[in-house]
Chains A and B, each alone.
Chain A
């Protein structure tokens, strides 16, 4: 009797664990008519369309620009043999829910210059000596409202200037950018939206309307990725692991220059040009990058991105910004402290990326 009890006690748990293998063919039509078990559950649209170029969690890149010339206000010249720099981006999902996605990021970009400058080329000499650095934090919030509508917010704070990590810039010089878009997700291959943004992409602070448009063709061989006017690309999808983007990106910031010898040319009539040191000069750098970008998975989630293109200068002027910042827009009449002419050139950039699931 004791043996029987022992047998039952010992074997029952294992019998309970045993489960049938349910790999047999089944009638899938039984899954056609189902509802949420949770009565209050809602469906929300997602933040992507099919085949969108992969989002980068970590990106380590290197940017190189060919030779060009800077002609400063007053006529002094600097011949840059090249400029180059490292770029680092980190983007991490902080909240990832059906009804909200919040992502935080870090951005670092350095621009170093090599070449020769005239004695009086104060801006060129400053760039050769110190280069430019950007360090920023950004936040992206995607808020679906239902299956068809969504809100998108992007905000960033950037510290830009001729500083380095040994000689840091005061956080009071942070520049803030933001965009807010209201959009429609028509189907899995199309989403678009309209909004407004405060941006430094043309070098100086500006308030402009924005248009979001992400589309993939029914044959899934091509599409478009647009956040106008910041960037717009035609996308050719070769496979789920390689694609080509053709288009442009506007890139720019307002950089605090710490040099005491950047002179103002603003009062050409009252004072001799170029003899008054500017109070808190800021370089308004804005450029248009017309480019081809090839992206390919090297192994699983490690992607390489290689781009070549033409860097067209939009602005390389200097403003005196004694406190805060001011709005000039496209039609403002405020005079620049220095009006410079920057040559255009080819550029290339390569990056290794860890892409998001």
Chain B
């Protein structure tokens, strides 16, 4: 019985540290603006992973059609009519430790490409989003800024 108690206590301790880690990972949740200012992305948590979807577009309509922009550059033809607004461009990020979330991907609707991605929180209001191909050296970092409701 004593051994069982120790086992459960250990599991509990491990799980508790996970909770602390998860809470720390939740700092990334919020609304963010990529450097080009053309979109706003809401990062949220689903299960234990973090996702980011486009919730605002500077230019919501396609100038050619006058209709809401769709993901026409997607290499999968079946997805080319999916609206850009609401699209999940950040997927499957796990909180690693410290200020880093990794294991995810970022999708660029401008060219229909998906890149490996690591997110680093530089400070509470700044994210370095590094999309790369295979290894981090072959990549580009975009700096995202946190947004909040306008102060009145």
Within 8 Å by CB of A19, from B35, B45, B132, lies B45
Decide: A9 near B148, CB < 8 A? Known: A23-B46, A218-B64, A357-B108: no
A1 within 8 A of B: no
In the bound complex, CA of A36 to CA of B22 (Å): 25
Contact with A along B110-152 (1 / 0, CB 8 A): 1111010000000111100011110001111111011111110
Contact with B along A299-323 (1 / 0, CB 8 A): 0110000000000000000000000
A172 within 8 A of B: no
Decide: B150 and A22 in contact? CB cutoff 8 A: no
In the bound complex, CA of A33 to CA of B16 (Å): 38
B82 within 8 A of A: no
User: B48 contacts which chain A residues (CB < 8 A)?
Assistant: 17, 19
- Closest residue of chain A to B33, judged by CB? A36
Among residues 15 to 35 in chain A, which have CB atoms less than 8 Å away from a CB atom of chain B? 16-17, 19, 21-23, 26, 28, 31-35
Decide: A301 and B149 in contact? CB cutoff 8 A: no
How many of chain A's residues have a CB under 8 angstroms from any CB in B? 48
Within 8 Å by CB of A188, from B36, B85, B138, lies B36
Decide: A34 and B143 in contact? CB cutoff 8 A: no
Decide: B64 and A36 in contact? CB cutoff 8 A: no
Q: How far is the CB of A154 from chain B (nearest CB, A)?
A: 18
A118 within 8 A of B: no
Within 8 Å by CB of A241, from B46, B112, B130, B145, lies B112
A14 within 8 A of B: yes
How many of chain B's residues have a CB under 8 angstroms from any CB in A? 59
User: A26 contacts which chain B residues (CB < 8 A)?
Assistant: 55
Contact with B along A42-53 (1 / 0, CB 8 A): 011010001100
User: A147 contacts which chain B residues (CB < 8 A)?
Assistant: 37
Give the segment of A89-97, A105-113, A342-350 that binds chain B: A89-97
A270 within 8 A of B: no
Decide: A10 and B12 in contact? CB cutoff 8 A: yes
B63 within 8 A of A: yes
Within 8 Å by CB of A357, from B11, B15, B35, B133, lies B133
In the bound complex, CA of A21 to CA of B50 (Å): 11
Among residues 6 to 27 in chain B, which have CB atoms less than 8 Å away from a CB atom of chain A? 8-9, 11-12, 15-16, 18-19, 22
User: A32 contacts which chain B residues (CB < 8 A)?
Assistant: 56
A210 within 8 A of B: no
- Closest residue of chain B to A41, judged by CB? B145
Within 8 Å by CB of A356, from B5, B42, B110, B140, lies B140
User: B31 contacts which chain A residues (CB < 8 A)?
Assistant: 31, 34
Decide: B133 and A98 in contact? CB cutoff 8 A: no
- Closest residue of chain A to B47, judged by CB? A19
Within 8 Å by CB of A300, from B19, B113, B149, lies B113
- Closest residue of chain B to A220, judged by CB? B64
Decide: A46 and B150 in contact? CB cutoff 8 A: no
- Closest residue of chain A to B88, judged by CB? A23
A4 within 8 A of B: no
B38 within 8 A of A: yes
- Closest residue of chain B to A25, judged by CB? B86
User: A36 contacts which chain B residues (CB < 8 A)?
Assistant: 33, 125, 145-148
Q: In the complex, given contacts A10-B12, A37-B147, A93-B139, what are 9 additional A-B residue pairs having Cβ atoms less than 8 angstroms apart? A: A19-B46, A19-B48, A26-B55, A31-B147, A34-B149, A46-B36, A96-B140, A98-B142, A188-B36
In the complex, the 9 A-B pairs of residues with the closest C-beta atoms, listed nearest first: A13-B15, A96-B141, A34-B147, A38-B125, A37-B146, A31-B56, A240-B73, A98-B143, A240-B111
Q: What are some 6 contacts across the A-B interface (CB < 8 A)?
A: A10-B15, A17-B18, A19-B45, A41-B145, A50-B110, A98-B143
B binding-site residues for A, Cβ under 8 Å: 5, 8-9, 11-12, 15-16, 18-19, 22, 31, 33, 35-38, 40, 42, 44-48, 55-56, 63-64, 73, 75, 85-86, 108, 110-113, 115, 123-126, 130-133, 137-143, 145-151
A binding-site residues for B, Cβ under 8 Å: 6, 9-10, 13-14, 16-17, 19, 21-23, 26, 28, 31-38, 41, 43-44, 46, 50-51, 54, 57-58, 92-93, 96-98, 147, 188, 218-220, 239-241, 300-301, 354, 356-357
